[in-house]
């Protein structure tokens, strides 16, 4: 046979396939023959799916890499936010010299007791 057949469900437009499948699902529920998942069946199906997916090492590596990148980006953002609180703004004079900006905000002071406990 030459060429592809343009007959059958698989050759239909995906939207039309969805419409037909939806009608079948509704009819099965009305008739009472549709499958209803129990929590045990759903748990077992999820376990089987997890086992199957985890066999694909490249896929699992990609998932792990994405999670690691997300976590490091969040940590970087948190470090920047904390560092922003500790920075001392400088005013640059026209001659190129810099001097700290005086702020009304009290600055934390470190005592010798604080330094020894931090170590």
Interval 63-86: pLDDT, tens = 999 999 999 999 999 888 887 666
What is the predicted pLDDT for the residue at 82?
80
CB 47, CB 39: distance < 8 Å: no
Which residues is 36 bridged to in the sheet? none
DSSP readout, 70-117?
Answer: HHHHHHHHHHHHHHHHH---EEEPTTS-EEEPP-SSPPP---HHHHHH
38-64 average pLDDT score: 94
33-62 average pLDDT score: 93
Is the whole model's pTM more than 0.75, yes or no?
A: no
**Per-residue pLDDT reduced to its tens digit, 9-44:** 888 999 999 999 999 989 998 998 888 889 999 999
What is the predicted pLDDT for the residue at 34?
87
CA dihedral 45, 47, 53, 56 (to 10 degrees): -140
89-101 average pLDDT score: 62
Higher per-residue pLDDT: 79 or 4: 79
Return the structure tokens found at 18: 């969805």
How far is it, in rounded angstroms, from Cα 89 to Cα 101?
A: 6
Cα distances from 64 to residues 8, 53, 71, 77, in angstroms, run 41, 13, 11, 20
């Amino acid at each position: 046979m030459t060429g592809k057949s343009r007959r059958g469900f698989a050759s239909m437009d995906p939207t039309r396939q969805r419409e037909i499948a939806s009608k079948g699902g509704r009819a099965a529920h009305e008739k009472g023959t549709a499958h209803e998942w129990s929590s045990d069946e759903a748990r077992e199906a999820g376990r089987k799916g997890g086992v199957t997916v985890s066999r694909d090492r490249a896929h699992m590596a990609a998932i792990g890499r994405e999670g690691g990148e997300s976590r490091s980006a969040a940590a970087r953002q948190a470090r920047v936010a904390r560092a922003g609180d500790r920075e001392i703004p400088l005013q640059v004079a026209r001659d190129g010299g810099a001097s700290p900006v005086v702020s009304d905000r009290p600055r934390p002071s470190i005592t010798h007791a604080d330094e020894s406990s931090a170590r």
